[in-house]
Each structure stands twice: as structure tokens, then as C-alpha cells.
């Protein structure tokens, strides 16, 4: 006989005017561990469902703030970076710089120009870039593509294909990047189909194998859980339909209301959403749902179902967040409004700080002594970091 859970008071629904009904067990006595877990997962589901509703609204607000507050600052920063390139070119051509500083000036000039072309679409700078670089932009781009193709060819031949399918060795020299990508996708899909086929064949073989006692026990337990879940959701659904079906309702206003409620109930049942069904039962059923009638085993099973639902909702949330652009995600989409506001404020502060530093640098780039100190500092920073340095970190040293 299954052990009964601690006595639960008749009213197990907690109501909040702003949030609506919350599925939550309340007890006159100390809650058991199972009841505590039930509440924990019920609260988490409520939180995740609210987040899923809020994310599109939050994303829209964030995009609007980016468009009106961040984009203008970024455009101003790009304009100043182009002005910096102009000032640096003037210093490179007209100042009698030592050999090391002159080389550093050219490296920064080319690096900044290339970043503006590739990162910000300033293709009008390509002729300028070609003037100072040993290779043209187009030649450099083609060389990079050939290097990528060579890398992919090496990986392909080392692993035996894109789908680990032991393919014959291939040369990508005469293939375009688009053709290589198409080949990659095709082989990946073929490999996935093979994996599905192998999984199906294994499942068929397993069916024909004689099951040991442990396997039979696990299978019986799974069947029992499935039956319990089906029975639980069907029972709740049936009881709600009996009380709230609109067909026999004579009052037009009540019939419209019941029609809307039934849509929610049917959707929850079709989605196997136990949390939502319990919530709807507590919200709408006229006869009180008695939690004390539920055995501890059933409650434990409900906890397991709710835990799985939390996992699924987390996947849904990550999938939803992944549909939005990187900048919105970077600013904390899905987090609390306070957290998002803080990240947004820091983003603006950083751009404004970069604008201030760059403005100061541009202003002083007519001073040969300042330029030489700047380039010397850049050489030192580059050597210290192994060739990588932060452009704005350099100019901050001369604020």
C-alpha cells in the first residue's frame, strides 16, 4: 500500500492578483521532501513560462533601445576611427619617424582599415588599403579563402569525410566555398540518416533479445509510469470537461467564457502539460481538488514529470533566445530587466569611454612627440601580448 503524504490543507491554491493562480502545496505541518520538490519545480515552471512570454517583448524593447541609443554612438565611433586612420596616415607620411615606429604606424593603419572594411562594411576604404598593403584586398581575400579550403581539405581527408563515413580522399582546389559547404551538409545529413537506421536496427535487435530481470523490471516501471501519467492527465481533463464544457451552458456570456477556458484545457491536455492542467483545475474546477487524497508515490511521479517539464522549458527558452541577434543576446536577453538594464548601461559607458579616448588621441595626433610615444607604447604592448593588443587600450594610455 502506498504511503500517504502529510496532510495538506484543503486550499492548496496560492493566488496572486498580478500573477494569477500558482500550483503550490501549502501545509499546516512541515512539508515532506517530496512536497518541497513539488513546490520547487512548480515555481520554476511558473518562472520559465513567464520568461517565455516576456522574451519577445524584452527583445523588442532592447532592439528599440539599441537602434536609438547604441547605434548612433557606434556610428560616431566608426566616423572617429576613420578620422584616426586619416590622422595616422598623415603622421606616417609627414613625420620623420624611426624605422620601428614607422613600421608600427603602417601595421596599425592597415589593421584599422581592414577592420573597418570587414567589420563595418566600409568598402570605400579598399583602394586606400591597396595603396599601403603589399597585396591587394582582393588578393588577400582570395589567399585567405584558399587557406580555408586547404584546412577543410586536410580535415576532410584526415577524418574520412564530413560525416565520419570513411570517404575517399578529395581535393577542394577547384571547388568554391559554396560547393564545399553543400558537400558538407549533404554528407552530414547522410550520416545522420545512417545513424538513425543503425539505432532502429539496434532497437529491433534488442526487442528480440531475451530480457533479464532488471530490464523487465525497468520496462514494467516505465509502463506503470506512462499509465499513471495518462490516467492522471485524462482524469483531470475529464473532470474539467464535465464541469466547464460550454455546450450545455444556456447563459451566452458564461458560454463564451467556458469556450475560452476549454481551449486552454484542451491545449494543456494535448501538450501533456501536467503543470498547466493542475493549475487550470485549481483555477476553474468547482469541486475542490484534495491533495491529501494523493499517495506519496503519485506525488513523487508528479515531481518527476514537473522536473522533465522544467528541462523541456529550458530547451524552449534557449531555442527562443537563439532566434534573436547576437547583440540582443549579449545584452542579457532572458535575464531580469535589472540585469539587462545594467548590461545596457555598461555597453553605453564603454562606447562613450572609447569615444572620449579616441577623441583625445585624434586631437593630439598633430604632435610628433605624442605620436612617437603612442607608437612606442603600441610596440611594447604588442610585444607583451604576443602581437595582439587592444586598440582602445593603447590610446587610453595617452588620455
Of 8-22, 211-225, 325-339, highest mean pLDDT: 325-339
Largest Cα–Cα distance in the chain?
96
Instruction: In whole angstroms, give the CA distance from residue 165 to residue 141.
Output: 32
Confidence at residue 11, expressed as pLDDT on a 0 to 100 scale:
34
pLDDT digit string, tens, across residues 26-70:
656 677 888 888 888 888 988 998 999 999 999 999 999 999 999
Confidence at residue 2, expressed as pLDDT on a 0 to 100 scale:
42
**% of the chain surpassing 90 pLDDT:** 38
Name the grid cell of 75.
Answer: 556610428
pLDDT digit string, tens, across residues 1-31:
344 333 332 333 343 333 444 455 565 667 7
pLDDT digit string, tens, across residues 367-396:
999 999 999 999 988 777 655 555 555 444
Confidence at residue 92, expressed as pLDDT on a 0 to 100 scale:
95
The helix-helix angle for 252-270 and 213-244 (nearest 10°) equals: 170
Of 148-152, 170-174, 354-358, highest mean pLDDT: 354-358
Average pLDDT (185-208) is: 81
Confidence at residue 21, expressed as pLDDT on a 0 to 100 scale:
42
Q: Which residue has the higher pLDDT, 308 or 83?
A: 83
Average pLDDT (229-256) is: 78
* Residues facing 22 on adjacent strands: 14
Confidence at residue 5, expressed as pLDDT on a 0 to 100 scale:
38
* Contact in structure between 41 and 303 (CB atoms under 8 Å): yes
All residues at 6 or more sequence positions from 135 whose CB lies less than 8 Å from its CB, including other chains = 143
* Residues facing 21 on adjacent strands: 15
* Contact in structure between 277 and 236 (CB atoms under 8 Å): yes
Instruction: In whole angstroms, give the CA distance from residue 243 to residue 245.
Output: 6
Confidence at residue 178, expressed as pLDDT on a 0 to 100 scale:
86
* Contact in structure between 55 and 333 (CB atoms under 8 Å): yes
pLDDT range class, residue 194, cuts 50, 70, 90: confident
Amino acid at each position: 500500500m502506498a504511503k500517504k503524504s502529510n496532510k495538506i490543507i484543503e486550499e492548496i491554491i496560492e493566488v496572486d492578483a498580478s500573477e494569477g493562480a500558482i500550483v503550490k502545496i501549502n501545509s499546516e505541518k512541515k512539508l515532506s521532501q517530496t512536497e518541497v520538490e513539488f513546490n520547487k519545480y512548480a515555481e520554476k515552471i511558473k518562472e520559465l513560462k513567464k520568461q517565455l512570454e516576456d522574451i519577445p517583448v524584452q527583445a523588442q524593447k532592447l532592439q528599440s533601445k539599441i537602434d536609438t541609443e547604441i547605434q548612433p554612438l557606434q556610428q560616431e565611433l566608426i566616423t572617429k576611427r576613420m578620422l584616426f586612420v586619416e590622422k595616422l596616415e598623415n603622421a606616417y607620411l609627414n613625420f620623420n619617424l624611426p624605422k620601428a615606429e614607422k613600421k608600427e604606424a603602417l601595421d596599425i593603419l592597415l589593421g584599422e582599415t581592414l577592420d573597418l572594411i570587414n567589420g563595418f562594411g566600409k568598402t570605400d576604404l579598399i583602394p586606400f588599403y591597396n595603396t599601403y598593403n603589399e597585396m591587394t584586398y582582393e588578393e588577400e581575400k582570395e589567399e585567405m579563402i584558399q587557406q580555408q579550403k586547404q584546412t577543410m581539405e586536410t580535415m576532410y581527408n584526415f577524418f574520412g569525410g564530413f560525416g565520419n563515413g570513411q570517404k575517399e580522399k578529395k581535393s577542394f582546389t577547384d571547388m568554391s566555398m559554396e560547393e564545399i559547404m553543400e558537400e558538407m551538409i549533404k554528407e552530414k545529413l547522410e550520416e545522420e540518416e545512417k545513424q538513425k537506421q543503425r539505432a532502429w536496427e539496434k532497437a529491433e535487435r534488442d526487442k528480440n533479445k531475451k530480457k533479464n530481470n532488471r530490464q523487465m523490471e525497468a520496462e514494467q516501471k516505465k509502463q506503470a509510469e506512462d499509465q499513471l501519467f495518462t490516467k492522471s492527465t485524462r482524469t483531470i481533463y475529464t473532470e474539467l470537461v464535465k464541469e466547464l464544457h460550454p455546450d450545455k451552458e444556456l447563459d451566452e456570456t458564461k458560454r463564451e467564457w467556458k469556450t475560452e477556458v476549454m481551449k486552454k484545457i484542451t491545449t494543456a491536455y494535448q501538450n501533456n502539460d501536467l503543470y498547466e492542467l493542475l493549475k487550470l483545475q485549481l483555477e476553474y474546477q468547482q469541486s475542490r481538488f484534495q491533495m491529501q487524497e494523493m499517495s506519496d508515490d503519485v506525488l513523487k511521479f508528479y515531481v518527476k514529470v514537473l522536473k522533465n517539464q522544467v528541462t523541456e522549458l529550458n530547451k524552449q527558452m534557449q531555442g527562443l533566445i537563439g532566434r534573436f541577434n547576437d547583440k540582443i543576446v549579449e545584452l542579457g536577453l532572458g535575464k531580469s530587466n535589472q540585469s539587462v538594464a545594467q548590461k545596457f548601461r555598461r555597453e553605453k559607458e564603454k562606447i562613450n569611454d572609447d569615444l572620449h579616448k579616441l577623441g583625445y588621441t585624434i586631437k593630439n595626433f598633430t604632435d610628433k612627440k605624442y605620436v612617437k610615444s603612442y607608437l612606442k607604447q603600441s610596440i611594447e604592448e604588442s610585444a607583451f601580448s604576443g602581437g595582439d593588443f587592444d586598440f582602445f587600450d593603447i590610446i587610453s594610455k595617452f588620455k
